[in-house]
Amino acid sequence: MDDGERGLSRLPPVRYYVKVTVAVLLTLLAAYGVYRARSILVLIFLGLFLAVGLEPVIQRLERRGIRRGFCVLAFGLLIGALLVGLVFLVLAPATGEVTDFVSSVPDLLTRLNERLAGTSVGDYLNQGNVQQRIQSGLSSVLERSASGIFGIVGGLISAVFTAVTLFILTVYFMLAMPRLRDGLDRILATDERRAVLDESLSKVGGYVTGQLAICACAGVASYIALELIGVPYPALLAIVITVLDAVPQVGATIGAVLAVLVALTASIPAALIALVYFVLYQQLENYLIAPRVFSRTIALTPLASLLAVLVGAALAGVVGAIVALPMTAAGSTIFRNTSAGRSLLRDDARTP
């Protein structure tokens, strides 16, 4: 056998190339499917994340003799009430404002003609060709404005639908959490690994419940303050501040800036008072409320927290920024215990 024949004999059979081709195609197909379903996968992840975060509260209620189903029902009723309140505070006023604006355009034109009657400007506006151009221009502007407003309303409806979907997923994960934990316990197999998992999940749970408490406190306090100051749309601004406060580092600042800008439309003193309020409240939250809530949960340095938020935001936007801190804290717990070879259990509690 010459060298050429020996080289051909060493080549893999045809079925090897077929298997490699099929594997590559299946991988590409799976990646494409993940890309197309990325929005729902993000919702699934957030639902599981919230369920894990609320699990410590559910467990405490179960230890007091309350069944898990009743705990989840109470949670569902609370979130449902919040969603209904969001619809009435945001969607209904926005739709009403669109209707009022469209119906008031003819009246506004009539008032304009009456006020300008007898003037050179009024005589110019009463010319036929000028009125025709004004009518066509107003129609174009009105269509664009209405489409833009309806686009905003459509975005709000989409946001409510997304919130409802996330709520349903969270409820299902909360109900299925005991079975999920049993499956993880069987996979981990040893008590040491289960203890590391419990500590990691407690980091996530403590952060989620603590962050929900901080966001609720910021929203309620902002509503009371904005209502007393006389800022327009205090309830809507309070909802925006509550949501943005969940974004670490920058969310609270963005919410404060938006509220001050809205207060500026009322009066300059109202904007100054709102600015002073938000500066004082942020100091209170950063140096008194947050340290007490997260003292046992997020054991990260300020630099590590900032880097985690930046990386999370770069990878997954706002969602990544929100989940960056608890995921980093949980990951550091797993790395610290596995790399050092330490067990979280006492010696007398270890299994033989």
Task: Tell me the DSSP string of 35-78.
Answer: HHTHHHHHHHHHHHHHHHHHHHHHHHHHHTT--HHHHHHHHHHH
Are the C-beta atoms of residues 259 and 231 closer than 8 Å to each other?
A: yes
Residue closest to 277 by CA, chosen among 239, 232, 240, 223 = 223
In this structure, what DSSP letter does residue 247 have? S
Rounded CA-CA distance 175/169 in Å is 10
Asked whether the whole model's pTM tops 0.75, one would answer: no
Question: Would you state the structure tokens that stand for residue 67, as one six-digit string?
Answer: 């069944």
pLDDT band at 343 (very low <50, low <70, confident <90, very high): very low
pLDDT band at 145 (very low <50, low <70, confident <90, very high): low
Per-residue pLDDT at 278:
93
Residue closest to 51 by CA, chosen among 205, 248, 242, 213 = 205
Are the C-beta atoms of residues 72 and 58 closer than 8 Å to each other?
A: yes
Per-residue pLDDT at 344:
45
% of the chain with per-residue pLDDT over 90: 5
Per DSSP, the three-state class of 233 is: coil
Per-residue pLDDT at 348:
43
> Cα dihedral sign for 135, 137, 141, 143?
positive
Q: What is the pLDDT of residues 195-223, one digit of tens each?
A: 777 777 777 777 887 888 888 888 889 98
Per-residue pLDDT at 9:
55
Question: Would you state the structure tokens that stand for residue 125, as one six-digit string?
Answer: 């506006």
- Name residue, tokens 């969603």: 83
Residue closest to 46 by CA, chosen among 159, 160, 200, 167 = 167
pLDDT surpassing 60 at residue 151: no
pLDDT band at 276 (very low <50, low <70, confident <90, very high): very high
Per-residue pLDDT at 300:
67
Q: What is the CA radius of gyration of the chain?
A: 29
